[in-house]
Amino acid sequence: MSSSSNSAGVSGTGTKTETYLDYTSSPDVDFDHIKSTMTCRKFHDSVWGFVIYRCSEGNQNQNQNQVAWDRLLEALRAKVQEDLLFYMREDMLGFHDLHVIDDKALYGATSHQVRDHFRSWVPKNLEDRLGQDATNMDDDVDWVAATSTPRYEYCLFVDDICLESLDHPGVNSPVVKVLRKDWESPFAPDADGGRNSTTVTVAAPFHDGVTEYEEEDVGWMYMPLHDYLHKYDLLGKGDWDDQYVRPPYIDGTEEESELVGHWRQQESLMDEA
């Protein structure tokens, strides 16, 4: 069981901070596994956590968009701290690094463009983490072990709809997008309109893809902010296919009025009225 939104006690009020011991005898997050993936023999540091891309500048009010972006980052970091307190693993907080990539060249980027950037960022970041005693990257570092972690296999990205979700409360709001680095479209470029095309008609209610089948893997999915720690843990131990749900669904059972982005349809109907 994960911590609830009000699980952290308020200092000075006498409110007890709840921990996993209030609910179960053992945590449902494998912190030992996360800790084992934070470093390798030739790295000079130890870190865990996702990389997150900003892909939204805002169409109308850039100041509001900046505020929303800052709110989302603050909410993510606060949730990590809250969950680590809940699991009594504050020792992991100092090693957490939500690495932010805020590059105006990526504002409006598609998932394909984010993936291209992430694929080039990973080896550069790994090289930056090498210690002075690493003389040969290929010989000194077990690259399979170093890269087979959620930090380097997946990244988060945030676009307009993610920022909008901050102001539309729901059981799964707000959300970010989780992207799989080692994903390739099963369709030929001429079948899906090209990797960066915006002309493909996506079957309702889906937010990406070229088929009407709910099983189609589009290479990314939505993730509620409150699932950050659990998703990092599960993606580190399991398989993408075990976690994947085609967007806009989170678990595949939502009603239409609960789907990510449902507010856009409602606002469109109000504009037409």
pLDDT of res. 173: 94
Q: What is the per-residue pLDDT across 232-260, written as a single tens digit (0 to 9) for each?
A: 999 999 889 999 999 999 999 999 889 99
C-alpha to C-alpha distance for 212 and 206, rounded to whole angstroms:
8
Tens digits of residue pLDDT in 120-139: 999 999 889 988 877 666 66
Highest mean pLDDT among 50-64, 177-191, 249-263: 249-263
Amino acid 4: pLDDT: 43
Q: Tell which residue, 235, 196, 208, has the closest CA to residue 37.
A: 235
Strands (E), the chain: 51-54, 99-101, 154-158, 175-180, 220-224
CA dist 191 → 150, 195, 199 (Å): 30, 10, 12
Helix, strand or coil, per DSSP, at residue 96: strand
| Adjacency order of strands within the sheet including 51-54 | 99-101, 51-54, 154-158, 175-180, 220-224
* Residues 147-179: tens digit of each pLDDT: 789 999 999 999 999 999 999 988 999 999 999
pLDDT, mean of residues 57-86: 89
Band (pLDDT 50/70/90 cuts) for residue 25 is confident
pLDDT at 181 over 70: yes
CA–CA dist 210, 85 (Å, integer): 43
For the segment 6-35, the average pLDDT, to the nearest whole number, is 72
pLDDT band (50, 70, 90) for residue 9: very low
Inform me whether the pLDDT recorded for 92 exceeds 60.
yes
In angstroms, the CA 121 to CA 35 distance is 22
Q: What is the pTM of this model?
A: 0.88
What is the enclosing helix (H) or strand (E) of 53? strand 51-54
DSSP designation for 91: G
Question: 6: pLDDT confidence band, cut at 50, 70 and 90?
Answer: very low
Q: Which of 96, 86, 3, 99 is nearest to 54 (CA)?
A: 99
Percentage of the chain exceeding pLDDT 90: 62
Give the residue carrying structure tokens 């701290």.
Answer: 81
- How do the domains of the chain map onto residue ranges? 20-272
